[in-house]
Amino acid sequence: MTTAPTLDQTTLPPSSHEFAEVIHRLEAGGSMLPDTPENLMQIIGIYKAYAVPMDFYWRDLLYIGERVFLNPLPAFKYFISKDYLERHNTYSGDKSPLRIWRGRGEVHPELEEFMATGELGMKLPKLIHHLWHDRVNMEFAEACMRAMFWHRDINPRFNDYLYCEAYLEECDRAIRAYFKRNPLMLGLYKLFPDMFIEQARQASYYANLGLFWEVMAPVFFEMSDIYDEGGFKSVPDAMDFLVNGIFAVAGRPIYHHVYVGDECFELIPKSAGFTWLYEAALPYVEAVFYRTSPFRGTKSYNAQAGQVPADQKDFHYGILYADVFPVGSAGIPPTLLMQDMLHFLPPYLVEYYRQHCRSDDDTLIQLGITFQRSMYNVTSAVIQALRTALLYPLDDSNPEHLKANREFFEAQMDRLTRSEARLRDIQRQSYR
């Protein structure tokens, strides 16, 4: 059952867009994802399964950006330090200076347990778990970071800062301090300074994504807790919680501090004025949900045949377009995430997947499609947040304002009309 389009409070004629039903739903305060109890159960369950590895991703991204920095042989970058593993969340937990979410600030207990025993279920030395690839797949987090780094046109202010004099000077100080006992690297720095600076820019994107996900992990945990308590009654309830979350932390500073010993180098100081919404969340959604890049084995790279767009802005390999079955091949980023989420599924979702398709044999694909549904809901929250911030209330009495809202929603849906987009598929429950 899908929500019936509601146009009661509008004075506009029905949209003639291909996705008119979805547009009318958005105009009624709904989500791109139909409002059904099954969809609600799926997306909340997967948010919880996503939040647990995300609790590792953000900590390790900040550890790499701030501490590993330019290590030329970062073999142990996934061996997060105790300080960063125990780092208290800024917006969640008793010791949070700016508490917004009610959950804990310390690392999630399910993550702690998994890090100790892995899939093997045995407490072995960390190195054994690592080499056996029995661990959290940080490669997924790094792939998201690289997507943001590569699609740099979507974050112009942040990117411009990475080329400004203040950044270059602080980078130079940080690099000299970092390699002060390594004459070989200092010599290479003298010969190829740009190569080192470019690595520092990448580290700045590690910090950017780490600060972004530090916020999202407690949001998803709280959504799961509220659902378990019977708090969310509909998909729009869940979307509204995300919209409020986006606004609550919109002004969070995005910065990049590098620590060499006890000395802190502010490559991007908080005073630069970069914000969570503009320099992290919106670029993340564009880079990861919409664009990314083709994964090996899932797309022809024959650029001469026009099989890959000439312009980066036309890339369409994100989760909103993904065909989860081939994307579910081994070793590529979305599969790594699916594998991570598999470890932390709530019992009701495990049971749900057992009842469908190939039961336990294709859980990864089923949960991948659930994840796709859940990200359509997150994207809906972003669309509604942008509408709130830049346009007009849904019950505005001025028809011109409603028309502007309509044009905005239609423009957003235009991006999902291409054949690869899964918006059509997620309208039906049988898409699994």
Partner 1 sequence: MSTIVDIAVSNEDFNTLVTAVKVADLVEALQSPGPFTVFAPVDAAFAKLPPNTVNNLVQNPPQLARILKFHVASGIWKKADLASVDSLDSLEGSSIPIRVKDDLFEVKNATVIASDIEASNGIIHVIDTVILMG
Residues at the contact surface with partner 1, assessed by CB under 8 A: 98, 100, 157, 243-244, 247-253, 270-275, 278, 282, 386, 388-392, 401
The H helix count followed by the E strand count for the chain is 18, 2
User: Which residue from 385, 376, 384 is spatially nearest to 33, judged by alpha carbons?
Assistant: 376
Minimum gap (Å) between residue 164 Cβ and partner 1: 14
Closer by beta carbon to partner 1, 231 or else 273: 273
| C-alpha span between 51 and 288 (Å, rounded) | 17
Instruction: Sort residue 87 into left (φ over 0), alpha (ψ -120 to 50) or beta.
Output: beta
Minimum gap (Å) between residue 213 Cβ and partner 1: 17
User: Which residue from 91, 30, 32, 97 is spatially nearest to 58, judged by alpha carbons?
Assistant: 91
| C-alpha span between 62 and 59 (Å, rounded) | 5
In single-letter form, the type of residue at position 13 comes to P
Q: Which two tokens stand for residue 182?
A: 């390594």
Closer by beta carbon to partner 1, 244 or else 312: 244
| C-alpha span between 366 and 381 (Å, rounded) | 23
Closer by beta carbon to partner 1, 144 or else 242: 242
Contact (Cβ atoms closer than 8 angstroms) between residue 62 and residue 84:
yes
- Geometric angle at alpha carbon 415, from 410 and 421, rounded to 5°: 120
| C-alpha span between 297 and 308 (Å, rounded) | 14
- Three-state SS for 326-369 is HHCCCCCHHHHHHHHHHCCCCHHHHHHHHCCCCHHHHHHHHHHH
Minimum gap (Å) between residue 47 Cβ and partner 1: 20
Phi, psi (degrees; rounded to nearest 5) at 422: -100, 10
Minimum gap (Å) between residue 238 Cβ and partner 1: 15
Closer by beta carbon to partner 1, 281 or else 332: 281
Q: Which two tokens stand for residue 38?
A: 């099954």
How deeply is 121 buried, as exposed, middle or buried, from its count of CB atoms within 10 A (0-12, 13-18, 19+)? exposed
**What pairs with residue 256 in β-bridges?**
268
In single-letter form, the type of residue at position 244 comes to N
| C-alpha span between 258 and 203 (Å, rounded) | 9
Closer by beta carbon to partner 1, 42 or else 208: 208
Closer by beta carbon to partner 1, 124 or else 250: 250
Minimum gap (Å) between residue 310 Cβ and partner 1: 27
Q: Which two tokens stand for residue 429?
A: 């429950």
Minimum gap (Å) between residue 394 Cβ and partner 1: 13
In single-letter form, the type of residue at position 382 comes to V
Closer by beta carbon to partner 1, 100 or else 226: 100
Minimum gap (Å) between residue 67 Cβ and partner 1: 24
Minimum gap (Å) between residue 216 Cβ and partner 1: 15
Minimum gap (Å) between residue 102 Cβ and partner 1: 13
Closer by beta carbon to partner 1, 96 or else 202: 96
Closer by beta carbon to partner 1, 389 or else 411: 389
Phi, psi (degrees; rounded to nearest 5) at 104: -80, 160
Minimum gap (Å) between residue 45 Cβ and partner 1: 26
Closer by beta carbon to partner 1, 124 or else 386: 386
